[in-house]
């Protein structure tokens, strides 16, 4: 009951936080569109377009959170947390589409330049929108790490990238205004498009890695190896170690080789101890062990070990 209650609290908190992201996206879109209409800056238009992507990504993230935080059921015995990777993949695809649109508009503006107007007021409004993004991003990343939510962290990182993008756009538009060199506005927009492509590619790559059951990162693998090394000896060995992650949950499986003369109780107590230490070394880990007699030559298949 306590675990179910904790999961429900986590679910409610994640929903509240992603709702903040949706509200921030709506507010920044409104402000940035106003800034673009006042100035006619293609750089500010590109910034507004990325905020539209932010809103779409936040709405997708909300649906994914509602799905991924559901408890395991008969059809999904390992839970639904892999849905986190779908959110990152959709968000990456939307970002890439936005980058193409921004580049198209920027190139058209280079070919058919137009003047900028009301720059001072427009940039002030854009800066206000950026501050909203910065506050929301810091909150989402911090909470996402606390809750082990890849969806929340990715959304926060995207908002933070949007903040730095906006800062670059504001700088570029201001310089174009001060120097009177109009093409600088479009050049900044193209640089924004390149930056967005990098962000989108990173998110798609992370999504694909999770869906393809990529092994745990080096730090967690080192922690696992340290636990196994602490038990390894002349009469105990380990092999067939496999790891993967699904959302915040980590999965570890390993074959445990012990003397064939041990009783079932001795073997059971030993693997329980090993499993407990592995769960302590890697947060939210589910551990599977397979017990084998160390004397069996098959146990050393593909391990590179010699029989004792």
Helix axes 150-179, 119-147, angle to 10 degrees: 160
The DSSP code for 76 is -
Alpha helices in 148-249 (DSSP H): 150-179, 183-211, 218-231
CATH code of the domain covering residue 13: 1.20.1510.10
Nearest to 82, CA basis, from 209, 215, 247, 285: 247
pLDDT in tens, 143-155: 888 877 777 877 8
Q: What percent of the chain has pLDDT over 90?
A: 17
For the cut 50, the answer to whether the pLDDT of residue 307 exceeds it is: no
CATH code of the domain covering residue 253: 3.30.70.1350
Whether 199 and 294 map to the same domain: the answer is no
Q: Across the chain, how many H-helices and E-strands are there?
A: 8, 3
For the cut 60, the answer to whether the pLDDT of residue 305 exceeds it is: no
Checking DSSP bridges between strand 237-246 and strand 249-258, what pairing results, if any?
Answer: antiparallel
Whether 139 and 172 map to the same domain: the answer is yes
Nearest to 70, CA basis, from 145, 20, 139, 15: 15
Rounded mean pLDDT, 215-221: 86
The last residue of a domain, from among 148, 181, 211: 211
Q: Report how far residue 27's alpha carbon sits from residue 201's, in angstroms, rounded to the nearest whole number.
A: 26
247: three-class secondary structure by DSSP = coil
- Angle of CA points 227, 219, 14, to nearest 5°: 110
pTM (2 d.p.): 0.59
Between residues 277 and 44, the one the model is more confident about: 277
Residue 88 pLDDT: 67
For the cut 60, the answer to whether the pLDDT of residue 304 exceeds it is: no
The DSSP code for 149 is -
pLDDT in tens, 28-77: 888 888 888 887 777 677 778 777 877 877 888 887 777 767 766 666 65
Q: Report how far residue 286's alpha carbon sits from residue 81's, in angstroms, rounded to the nearest whole number.
A: 13
Helix axes 83-111, 183-211, angle to 10 degrees: 160
Residue 225 pLDDT: 92
Alpha-carbon distance values, 35 to 29, 43, 244, 279 (Å): 10, 10, 46, 51
The last residue of a domain, from among 192, 211, 230: 211
């Amino acid at each position: 009951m306590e675990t179910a209650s904790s999961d429900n609290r986590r679910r409610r908190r994640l929903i509240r936080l992603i709702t903040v992201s949706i509200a921030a996206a709506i507010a920044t879109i409104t402000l940035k569109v106003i800034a673009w209409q006042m100035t006619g800056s293609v750089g500010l238009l590109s910034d507004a377009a990325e905020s539209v992507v932010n809103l779409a990504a936040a709405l997708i993230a909300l649906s994914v959170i509602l799905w991924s935080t559901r408890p395991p059921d008969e059809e999904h015995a390992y839970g639904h947390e892999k849905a986190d990777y779908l959110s990152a993949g959709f968000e990456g695809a939307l970002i890439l589409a936005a980058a193409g649109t921004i580049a198209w508009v920027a190139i058209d503006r280079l070919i058919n330049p137009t003047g900028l107007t009301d720059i001072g007021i427009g940039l002030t409004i854009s800066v206000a929108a950026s501050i909203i993004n910065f506050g929301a991003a810091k909150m989402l990343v911090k909470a996402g790490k606390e809750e082990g939510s890849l969806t929340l962290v990715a959304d926060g990182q995207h908002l933070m990238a949007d903040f730095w993008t906006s800062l670059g756009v504001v700088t570029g538009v201001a310089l174009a205004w001060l120097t009177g060199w109009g093409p600088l506005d479009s050049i900044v927009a193209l640089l924004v498009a390149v930056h967005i492509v990098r962000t989108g590619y990173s998110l798609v790559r992370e999504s694909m890695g999770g869906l393809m059951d990529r092994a745990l990162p080096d730090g967690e693998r080192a922690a696992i190896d340290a636990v196994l090394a602490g038990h390894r000896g002349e009469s105990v060995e380990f092999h067939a170690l496999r790891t993967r992650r699904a959302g915040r949950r980590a999965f570890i499986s390993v074959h445990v080789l012990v003397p064939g003369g041990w009783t079932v109780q001795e073997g059971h107590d030993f693997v329980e101890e090993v499993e407990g230490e592995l769960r302590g070394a890697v947060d939210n880990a589910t551990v599977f062990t397979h017990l084998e007699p160390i004397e069996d030559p098959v146990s050393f298949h593909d391990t590179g070990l010699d029989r004792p």
